Amino acid sequence: MIIEALKQYGTLEAPGATDNPKIIGWQDELEAAGLGRVYAGVYRHDAIPWCGLFMAIVAHRANIERRPERNPPRLYLSALEWAAFGTSVPKGAAALGDVLVFKRKGGGHIGLYVGHDASAFHVLGGNQSDRVSITRLSRNRLVAVRRPAYRAQPANVRPISLAASGSLSVNEA
């Protein structure tokens, strides 16, 4: 999933009342695949929090075999719904490519683990400063670590220790 997510790196939410057609297109793609029915006609503006939409498109595109257990949750726009995706991993055992679910004021946030430092996870996700980026999120906000349902886990799924750099994100909305 990391490779698919990196293909979207830098995608930016459109300013003001305009919408980035790429982000809106993700919803259209999920609807066409039969995964976005619950949000059909609802998600039409990139000002609506889209971290869950980003994760849903990444999970969908990475699910080449179309295995149901690799599909995004039905209510994928709600970041906290991702706490049931894949298989549970202990919070202290997060590894490259794991889905991290965080709490924040007013809801949740979701992204992919790319590494950690002493106080934070480095997370590749959507709607982080209105773009797809890597951001540091406090370990204290972590709700769940979920690993995609691999048939054979890739060898690079391992913890990655990084130096702390940059400020902590406090609200990804």
From 93, 87, 56, 81, select the one nearest 69 (Cα to Cα).
Answer: 87
Confidence at residue 26, expressed as pLDDT on a 0 to 100 scale = 96
Q: Contact, 100 vs 94, CB < 8 A?
A: yes
pLDDT, tens digit (0-9, with 9 covering 90-100), for 119-159: 999 999 999 999 999 999 999 999 999 999 999 999 999 99
- How do beta strands 168-169 and 131-138 pair? parallel
Confidence at residue 99, expressed as pLDDT on a 0 to 100 scale = 98
Decide if pLDDT at 25 tops 80: yes
Confidence at residue 42, expressed as pLDDT on a 0 to 100 scale = 85
Confidence at residue 41, expressed as pLDDT on a 0 to 100 scale = 84
* Residue 55, token pair as written in the block: 């994760």
Average pLDDT over residues 110-121: 97
